[in-house]
Structure 1
Amino acid sequence: MRFLAALGATPEMTAVIEEQLASLRIAKRAAPSAEPAYLLDIDVSKPAQSASSRFVAVSCSNKSIRVYNRETLNFLREYSGRPGVLHGVRFAHACDSTVFSACSDGTVKCWDIRSAAQKAVQVFSGYPSNAFISFDINCSDLIICAGTEKVEKDTFLVFWDARGITNCASATQEPLGVYSESHNDDITKICFHPVEPNLVVSGSTDGLVNVFNINKDNEDDALISTCNSDSSVSFIGWSGKDYKQVYCVTHDEGFCWWDTAQLDTEEPITLLHVLDVRDAVCPENDSLHYLVGGFYHEKADKLFLIGGTSTGNIHLVGCGRAGLGLAGTLCGGHAAPVRSFCWSLADESLLTGGEDAQLLLWKPGAVERSLAKKASMKIASSVQKRVRVHNSSLKSRKK
């Protein structure tokens, strides 16, 4: 764990991080579902003022979204995307009872978890050929953006005006418009900036990570930078003070990290590019088999990656310009690969979901009352994501 100090954290902060990661223990397990499924994405409701988050939403491989109580992990509701497949899950920022998911039927659906009704209370409809596989909503709850699979030669970022969603008025909304020139393959991830509502980053199986300012009049002017990961993008995020950095994880376990603040300088924008994190991080007793994603720890000003093993152990990897280093390992929770997570800075807790159909809440110093551990599930490999490796060089585009 001394590696964190080498990455730039102060000794005091390093000690805090080490203690926090070392003390994470399972606090709660959600009760098994009648229909087991891979847990593919997790989000927690945004707390209103000083109140804590009340809900957890999970996107599942059986085309459903499940909602749980945040503290107890008691099951509350389930929504179905059938016949479409639901991709991703996000709560609105200003209303913790409003939850969204993109759908392969060419819509983004909105549910109100205060209601027992199974029907979406609002539907954001795309164009006829659209099949959405990624989406996000901006920090002001004004704009929704969804990314499509490639159909023939077309790949789109589709935008909607989301005003009024916190009232969940029943309606179908048509798009404001699209970006169609910046990617040439499936758009796998979209992530709005945490505090700047006009900034959004997108990632694709074409290897490109694009940063846009959607306040501009057209796509060409909106494109701030294009960075190449040299592979198929599986996860993207923002990091650094004022969130001026972007990073991505690839389907073949690579990692790229860029500083957009350097776009108008002579300094290189690439902070770190690791072709295979499995080779760069070698836990002493347990190898790293895959990456899930990352999170930025605001208090420590530190970026972490989350990965794991086929048997369910979770590795937390510290990132710095000097390289990567193992920051901690969480054992005894999952029995199969972890597919999703959600980090909470407020209480330093971690939610994880996996191929064993388990939803776990980890908290510092927690003591789990029941230590029952489910066996690994066997589900058809069709849910596995495609991997496409692209061997093109890193580039940047300055506005």
Structure 2
Amino acid sequence: MEVATLTDTSSLSLPPDSYIYKILQVDSKIAAISSDNSLRVIDSTSLKEIRDGIIDNVHAGVTCLEALRNDRSVFWTAGRDAVVRSWDLRLGKSTLDLSDDSNAPYLSLCVDDHCIVVGTELSHTQATVILWDNRAPGKPIRRYIESHNDDVTELQFHPQSRGTLLSGSTDGLVNIYNTAEADEDEALSQVANHGSSIHHAGFLSNSHFFALSHDETFSVYHLESQDDSALDVLPQVCGDIRPKLQCEYVVSVIPYIGSGKAILGVGSLSQQNLDLVPLRYADTWSFDLKSTIRLPGAHGEDIVRSMCTDHDTVFTAGEDGLIRAWRADTEQAQKHMQGAEATTENDKRKQRKRKDHAAGGDPTGRFKPY
């Protein structure tokens, strides 16, 4: 087992007893939302607050934080006040508010290009997935009101098929929609019944998605397409992963699309540590326990609520109100944190040699895979 070293800690100058709900890295910055309803932005290198990096009272009950891929200076938040807001750090204020007429608290959020999507809490027997086009931010362009019958806890767009949307709910369902379809029945293209309340769900690759329940059961599902929708591809059911991963709770699943790899952050309060467990694909998805990286001490007696990775550094946030930065101690551990095998200049030379051999070079040349 590899071990990472704690390199820095920041309190974000939060009030006492404040929780951090989520952290999100955008370029050289880390944004955080917390129980004092603030949005705070710090420098990811120094973990110090940037100038004008604190925005108070972003919502009456902030719940969500996201960022657009093509505009890294704008953050999006949502809250229990049934409002979505964009925040431009260059201006230090909100530039757009979105809401609908249901007034149901917003529990999940995803943003992509011009599409903003929220999932609501169950309210008046409805739990709704709502879509806006932020180029014409008036009424929602889609409302899916029948596909879930309990709180919508997760939303995510497909990494390549941008009109493909995933939603997860405490009703145990993970749904896949084609958002180009206006009719909800036509839009709903796949339903996976995980059988237990969804905590996290998302895409592991272009053809697989996962579901993680609040009681830590984990499964991987095949994403149906028009070509194979008639095939009955069984899910890969892992059950409760706590005994296998020797943990007490799962923080999050971070996929590295295109690498056939993801990282699970799993915590243990009794042992006061956080482990990063690689999940790899080779015909099936499996946990690479031998390559686990341990963050000893983690956040002490407090639960880790959120994490993100940047090259050889992992950032964690907890119910102690702290953000911590961890650095891998070995080159191999750094490669795991990066999500794909790092290619050194020496590796590149080996690859060029292999190509030369294949093109008629030294026939005795050997390459030993690593």
Q: TM-score, normalised by structure 2?
A: 0.79
Aligned to 2:42: 68
- Matching of residue 90 in structure 1 with residue 54 in structure 2: no
Amino acid at match of 2:92: A
Q: Does the 8 Å CA contact 1:81/1:103 hold for their aligned counterparts? A: no
1:121 partner SS = strand
Aligned to 1:390: none
* Match of residue 364, structure 1, among 323, 328, 347: 328
TM-superposed CA distance for 1:361, in Å, is 2.0
Aligned to 2:212: 249
Aligned to 2:115: 143
Q: Does the 8 Å CA contact 1:281/1:325 hold for their aligned counterparts? A: no
Q: Does the 8 Å CA contact 1:305/1:317 hold for their aligned counterparts? A: yes
TM-superposed CA distance for 1:261, in Å, is 4.5
Greater C-alpha Rg = 2
Q: Does the 8 Å CA contact 2:20/2:32 hold for their aligned counterparts? A: yes
TM-superposed CA distance for 1:232, in Å, is 0.6
* Match of residue 107, structure 2, among 112, 128, 133: 133
Query: C-alpha separation between the residues in 2 aligned to 1:34 and 1:217?
Result: 44
Q: Does the 8 Å CA contact 2:159/2:257 hold for their aligned counterparts? A: no
For residues 269-306 of structure 1, what are the alpha-carbon distances to aligned partners after superposition, in whole Å with 9 as ceiling and x for unaligned? 41x22231112223xxxxx1101120123474213321
Aligned to 2:367: none
Question: Which structure 2 residues correspond to residues 200-219 of structure 1 after superposition, within 5 A?
Answer: 200-219=165-184
Q: Does the 8 Å CA contact 1:30/1:75 hold for their aligned counterparts? A: no
User: Compared with structure 1, are the counterparts of its residues 329 and 186 closer, same or farther at alpha carbon in structure 2 (3 Å cutoff)?
Assistant: same
User: Compared with structure 1, are the counterparts of its residues 54 and 322 closer, same or farther at alpha carbon in structure 2 (3 Å cutoff)?
Assistant: closer
TM-superposed CA distance for 1:205, in Å, is 0.4
* Match of residue 241, structure 2, among 265, 277, 286: 277
Aligned to 2:353: none
Q: Does the 8 Å CA contact 1:44/1:91 hold for their aligned counterparts? A: no
1:180 partner SS = strand
Q: Does the 8 Å CA contact 2:3/2:293 hold for their aligned counterparts? A: no
Query: C-alpha separation between the residues in 2 aligned to 1:65 and 1:297?
Result: 26
TM-superposed CA distance for 1:186, in Å, is 0.4
1:150 partner SS = coil
Q: Does the 8 Å CA contact 1:42/1:59 hold for their aligned counterparts? A: yes
- Matching of residue 222 in structure 1 with residue 198 in structure 2: no
Q: Does the 8 Å CA contact 1:57/1:66 hold for their aligned counterparts? A: yes
Amino acid at match of 1:356: D
1:62 partner SS = coil
For residues 163-217 of structure 1, what are the alpha-carbon distances to aligned partners after superposition, in whole Å with 9 as ceiling and x for unaligned? 38xxxxxxx6432231111100000111112232211110000000001110123
Q: Does the 8 Å CA contact 1:349/1:363 hold for their aligned counterparts? A: yes
- Matching of residue 338 in structure 1 with residue 309 in structure 2: no
- Matching of residue 293 in structure 1 with residue 257 in structure 2: no
2:148 partner SS = coil
2:159 partner SS = coil
Aligned to 2:23: 42
For residues 48-99 of structure 1, what are the alpha-carbon distances to aligned partners after superposition, in whole Å with 9 as ceiling and x for unaligned? xxxxx12211121222221111222111322234662111211121121100
2:242 partner SS = helix
Query: C-alpha separation between the residues in 1 aligned to 2:243 and 2:80?
Result: 35
User: Compared with structure 1, are the counterparts of its residues 34 and 330 closer, same or farther at alpha carbon in structure 2 (3 Å cutoff)?
Assistant: closer
User: Compared with structure 1, are the counterparts of its residues 300 and 234 closer, same or farther at alpha carbon in structure 2 (3 Å cutoff)?
Assistant: same
Query: C-alpha separation between the residues in 2 aligned to 1:34 and 1:309?
Result: 25
- Matching of residue 192 in structure 1 with residue 164 in structure 2: no
User: Compared with structure 1, are the counterparts of its residues 200 and 349 closer, same or farther at alpha carbon in structure 2 (3 Å cutoff)?
Assistant: farther
User: Compared with structure 1, are the counterparts of its residues 299 and 177 closer, same or farther at alpha carbon in structure 2 (3 Å cutoff)?
Assistant: closer
- Matching of residue 161 in structure 1 with residue 133 in structure 2: yes
Higher strand share: 2
Question: Which structure 2 residues correspond to residues 304-315 of structure 1 after superposition, within 5 A?
Answer: 304-310=263-269, 312-315=272-275
- Which structure 1 residue ranges, 5 or more long, are not aligned? 2-21, 46-52, 165-171, 283-287, 367-399
Q: Does the 8 Å CA contact 1:292/1:307 hold for their aligned counterparts? A: yes
For residues 214-249 of structure 1, what are the alpha-carbon distances to aligned partners after superposition, in whole Å with 9 as ceiling and x for unaligned? 012321111121001111111112112xx2211121
For residues 15-53 of structure 1, what are the alpha-carbon distances to aligned partners after superposition, in whole Å with 9 as ceiling and x for unaligned? xxxxxxx363333322452414211112122xxxxxxx1
Question: Which structure 2 residues correspond to residues 347-358 of structure 1 after superposition, within 5 A?
Answer: 347-358=311-322
> How many aligned positions are there?
318
Amino acid at match of 2:71: C
Query: C-alpha separation between the residues in 1 aligned to 2:138 and 2:97?
Result: 6
Q: Does the 8 Å CA contact 1:106/1:129 hold for their aligned counterparts? A: yes
For residues 92-145 of structure 1, what are the alpha-carbon distances to aligned partners after superposition, in whole Å with 9 as ceiling and x for unaligned? 21121100111111110111111234xx2210112243210111002xx11000
User: Compared with structure 1, are the counterparts of its residues 304 and 35 closer, same or farther at alpha carbon in structure 2 (3 Å cutoff)?
Assistant: same
Percent identity for Structure 1 against Structure 2: 27
Aligned to 2:6: 26
Question: Which structure 2 residues correspond to residues 366-381 of structure 1 after superposition, within 5 A?
Answer: none
